Amino acid sequence: MKKEYICIACPVGCHLVLEEKSKDDIKVTGNRCSRGESYAREEYSEPKRTVTATCSADNGRIPVKTNRPILKEHIDSLLKEIYSINIDTLVERGDVIIKNYADTGVDVVATGSSAGKIKS
């Protein structure tokens, strides 16, 4: 099993090749430093992303994000859930909108406050 990645841990963007001969024999080549190796291993075994989106709210939209990266396989269903919510109370930046999504330990939190405004 061979997979190719571009390392994003720094701007050099090394082209990495990950080769799995067996479960305990995984080799990464093409990396100029050790960060590239761990990047490729993580992308191979459990790729994660931070998801950002907006929820509908009574007045305008509220931007939200996952409080940490979530496994890629959950992203589509998570987005569906986020889009199905309508927030009808006032929220503040940092409020939890979805707690422990699908038992992943990941929360969805508001990144802006209601009506997107902090008025003086």
DSSP state of 72: G
Q: What does the longest C-alpha to C-alpha distance in the chain come to?
A: 61
Site for other proteins in 87-106 (CB under 8 A): 93
Closer residue to ligand SF4 in complex, CB, 12/79: 12
CA atoms of 82 and 59, how far apart (whole Å): 17
CA atoms of 108 and 76, how far apart (whole Å): 14
> In angstroms, what is the minimal distance from the CB of 74 to other proteins?
13
Closer residue to ligand SF4 in complex, CB, 13/105: 13
CA atoms of 66 and 52, how far apart (whole Å): 7
CA atoms of 93 and 63, how far apart (whole Å): 9
Residue pair 92/110 in contact (Cβ under 8 Å)? The answer is yes
Residue pair 77/47 in contact (Cβ under 8 Å)? The answer is no
Q: Which does 36 bind (CB under 5 to 8 A by kind): ligand SF4, other proteins, none?
A: ligand SF4
Closer residue to other proteins in complex, CB, 27/49: 49
Which residues of the chain form contacts with ligand SF4 (CB under 6 A)? Answer: 7, 9-10, 12-14, 31-33, 35-36
Closer residue to other proteins in complex, CB, 19/92: 92
Contacts with other proteins by CB under 8 A lie at 5-8, 10-13, 49-54, 56, 60-61, 63, 65, 72, 75, 79, 93, 111-113, 116-118, 120
